[in-house]
Amino acid sequence: MVAEDDNIQDAGVQALCARVDRFVDEVAIPAESPAIARDVAQLDRRVTALRQQARAAGLYAPQLPPEWGGLGLGWRALARVLESAGRSFLGPAALNCAAPDQPNMLTLLRLGTPAQQARYLAPLTRGERRACFAMTEPPPGAGSDPAMLRTRAERHAGKWVLNGHKMFISGGVGADFALVLAMTDAGATLFLVDADNPGYEVVRDIGMVTVYQIGGHAEIRLRDCVVDDSAVVGEPGLGMAHAQLRLEPARLLHCMRYIGRARRALETAQAHVLHRESFGARLADLQQIQAMVADSHIDLHASRLLTLDCAARMDLGQPVKESSAMAKVFVSEAVGRVADRAVQMMGALGVSDDTPVGQIWQELRAFRIYDGANELHRATLARRLLSRHRAARENAHDDQ
């Protein structure tokens, strides 16, 4: 009976993916345009319209529980659906399952008080408001190492007063509120800060190689930004742990979406080499091109397997600190290789605005930096694995 239930569920996910694919092909991809790729205001308007269509199609918020207006998918099912949605730059945002609001919603679902959920989470789930997650700072502040956090929150007259400087905050331009990580006497603490707070200032939208980022990448200043105790998310001093609750699934969600993006780049390149001729032969008949195609499919297949393995662990409620880091490192580099080969197969066309391949290539390069640089993840993984090996050897020696 378990196998039969699994088959029924799998058939349902396949049908949902087919519907998402149709929505992406017929609605989301036609809504793309290089003219709006870095225009925050136009992107907001375009995504608002797309979300109405996604709701009408029954595809809205696949990651949210039904009581919050979502489809209630598990992580393995979400991996397949988000790959389909991720083929379009606008697909995940249209379904309201794009960064940064998707992990912001998950954070508030797990840590928010009923009052916080009513005020902040509910409008996020409905797509009526946007938020950002403000952790990264300019040097010498926090980047890949959150322990370098310099933004401070201090108690004055029963309130919290925040001062700090944040950089590269995805979704920060036009966000209605921010989840701000700041250091307190108790340790790092997560705060909700409304964008209309007098001490909160979006300085600028930082130009980046990435495209179609809802809300751009903001530089934010906090100057005597006053909030009360109701702004604290979770517990004071546990901000680093709370941030990890957000970052671990966020890494995996990026993997899911970017596998879809790399798949689109490869499909575009394959269509090109099948009809393009050079030196008397189709490009597709050349062994060097064939090797690029084969290696790219291998990279995508391995990326899916790593992502699905981590998703299965999350469905079981198991820790994924190591498996999510492994998936992030491998997938970010594998999809980058796929996009790079797609550019090479297409030549000058691959770096033009006439196809999406060049923009996909630029976007996927940044994934090796997002949610912790790959070098940091490798170093952390190695320390854990070597420590475990050393402990096992010491235990074996003690047993002799």
Residue 400: predicted pLDDT: 64
Rounded average pLDDT over 189-217: 96
Whether residue 172 contacts residue 202, with contact meaning beta carbons closer than 8 Å, is answered with yes
CA atoms within 13 A on the CB side of 2: 0
Measured CA to CA in angstroms, residue 397 lies from 173, 199, 386, 393 at distances of 57, 59, 16, 6
* pTM value > 0.75: yes
pLDDT in tens, 96-139: 999 999 999 999 999 999 999 999 999 999 999 999 999 999 99
Q: What is the 3-state secondary structure (H, E, C) of 105-142?
A: HHHHHHHCCHHHHHHHHHHHHCCCCCEEEECCCCCCCC
Residue type present at position 274: L
Task: For residue 17, give Cα distances in angstroms to 37, 47, 260, 377.
Answer: 25, 20, 12, 31
Q: What is the pLDDT of residues 167-196, one digit of tens each?
A: 999 999 999 999 999 999 999 999 999 999
Share of the chain residues as helix, strand and coil, in percent rounded to the nearest 5:
60, 15, 25
Tokens read off for 57: 């199609």
Q: What share of the chain in percent tops pLDDT 70? A: 97
How many CB atoms sit inside 10 A of residue 350's CB? 23
Tell me: pLDDT of 3 over 50.
no
What's residue 7's pLDDT? 52
CA 100 to chain centre: 7
Residue 310 CB partners (closer than 8 Å, separation 6+): 75, 252, 255, 320, 323, 324, 326, 327
| Token code pair at residue 237 | 């001093």
**How large is the average pLDDT for residues 128-155?**
94
pLDDT of residue 6: 54
First to last CA, the chain: 47
All structural domains of the chain: 1-112 (1.10.540.10), 131-233 (2.40.110.10), 240-391 (1.20.140.10)
Q: How far apart are CA 131 and CA 124, in angstroms?
A: 8
Q: What is the reported pLDDT for 95?
A: 98
Closest CA to 262 of 357, 183, 377: 357
Structure tokens at 268: 């575009």
Residue range 18-38: average pLDDT?
Answer: 96
Long-range pairs, 379-387, Cβ under 8 A, ≥24: 380/325, 381/322, 381/325, 381/326, 381/329, 384/322
Strand 177-184, strand 159-170: pairing: unpaired
Lowest mean pLDDT among 7-21, 53-67, 260-274: 7-21
Please give the angle made by the CA atoms of 8, 9 and 10, to the nearest 5 degrees: 90
Helix, coil or strand: residue 372 = coil
Helix, strand, or coil here: 30? helix
